[in-house]
Each structure stands twice: as C-alpha cells, then as structure tokens.
Amino acid sequence: MHRGGRIGWLRAAVLGANDGLISTSSLVVGVASAEQSAAAILLAAVAGLVAGALSMAAGEYVSVSSQADTEGADLARERRELALAPAAERAELARIYIERGLSRTLAIQVADELMAHDALGAHARDELGIHELTRARPIQAAVASAASFAVGAAPPTVLAALLPIRVLTPGVVAATLVLLVVLGSVAAHLGGAGRARGALRVAFWGAVAMAGTAAVGRLFGTVVQ
C-alpha cells in the first residue's frame, strides 16, 4: 500500500497533534511563569484545549471546503466540455499521453478506451490532476484535526492538574519534548521520511515556542507585580 492514501488524514492529524501539544504546553508554561495559581493555570490549559480543537476543526473545514469547491467547479466544467465537444476532449486526452511518451497511435487508443470506460474520471485524473486518494474531504479533515488537537493537548492539561506548582514548568517541558520526539518520529515513519530528522525538527520548534511563551509570561508577571 502506497503512502499517498494517507495524505488526507495524516496531514491534518499531525498538524493537529503538534499544534495541540505545543500550543497547550506553551500556554501552561507561559501562564505558570506569570501566575502561581494552580487553578488559573489549569483553567488556561482547559480553555486552550477546547478553543484550539474547535478552531482547528473550523479552520480545516473551511480551507479544505475551498479546495473541494474548486475541484467540484473544475469537474463540472469538464463534464460540460465532454457533453458539448467529446472529440476535442478525446484529442486533448490523447495529446496528454503523447507528451508523456506514448506513440500517437497508442495514445489515441488509450484515450478511446479510457473515455469509453470513464471519460470524466480519465480527464479528472490526467488533465486536472484530481485523484481519488487525494480528493478534498472537509469533514474528515475537520474531525481529524479536532481529535488530534485534543489528544495532543491532553498531556499538558493533565500535568497542569496533577503536578505541584514548583515542578510544573520543568515537568511540562520535559514531557512535551519527549512526546514531540515520539510524535515527530511516528509521523515521519508514516510519511516515509527519516525518523531522526522528523523528530528533531518538531522538538526544536516546540522548544522555541515554550521558551518564547515562558519569556513573555515572566516579563508580564514581573510588570504586573
């Protein structure tokens, strides 16, 4: 099984899990740097989890819906052209195969047979580049993003509820970096890339995000106090 079939849900799932883990951990670290109230830190974590999951779902649904609308418009146009000028569409399809290396005779034969079997499918795939495995699926993307964000945000939220204030920041940072390494490694493996590179790049940007929010929280806390 080729990895291309995973593109639709893998991208949304990896993005959601990374975002949930990094943003919620950064939020906990930032608030903990400014506020020593366990209740305030936990409230910020829970609010970040809920708001982030809903935001990811809405954002993915809107963006992927735009892609689906574009694909639908292209397919509708292609359907009209096939109904109005089938000979021209046959010639266009044959020309595509000729440019890919087939002889003229074989290209015409292939175009004829594919159009007889599924004309719109052949043009969608070979002229428009729309493949079934990579078609835009807004609901799938929205659900995958929201669920993965919630899963990613859960560990720092649980730690915010369980750890004492004095060890909360180092505990969240350590747990987050370990989880980012694991997540980056798994995502890279599923996508067919190198595990080490995938793990390091995710962990690096997670560390940058947490350091940045910790600095903001400490500065804000100092100014308020």
Q: How many domains does the chain have?
A: 2
Pair 11, 111 in one domain: no
Q: Which has the closest alpha carbon to 174: 150, 199, 142, 206? A: 206
Q: Which domain holds residue 206?
A: 3-70+149-224
The DSSP output letter for 128 is S
Pair 155, 106 in one domain: no
d(CA 70, CA 136): 10
Q: What is the pTM of this model?
A: 0.68
Relative orientation angle of helices 7-34 and 165-191, to the nearest 10 degrees:
160
Q: Does any domain span residue 52?
A: yes
Instruction: Name the region of 129 (left: φ>0; alpha: ψ -120 to 50; beta: rest).
Output: left
Rg of the Cα trace of the chain?
A: 25
Pair 85, 114 in one domain: yes
pLDDT tens by residue, 144-197: 888 989 999 999 999 999 999 889 999 999 999 998 888 878 777 766 667 787
Contacts 24+ apart (CB under 8 A), 4-7: 4/131, 4/133, 4/134, 5/133, 6/190, 6/191, 7/133, 7/134
pLDDT tens by residue, 15-44: 788 889 999 999 999 888 887 788 989 999
pLDDT tens by residue, 75-131: 888 889 888 888 888 888 889 899 888 888 998 898 888 888 888 888 888 877 777
For residue 152, the one-letter residue type is G
Pair 81, 64 in one domain: no
Pair 165, 115 in one domain: no
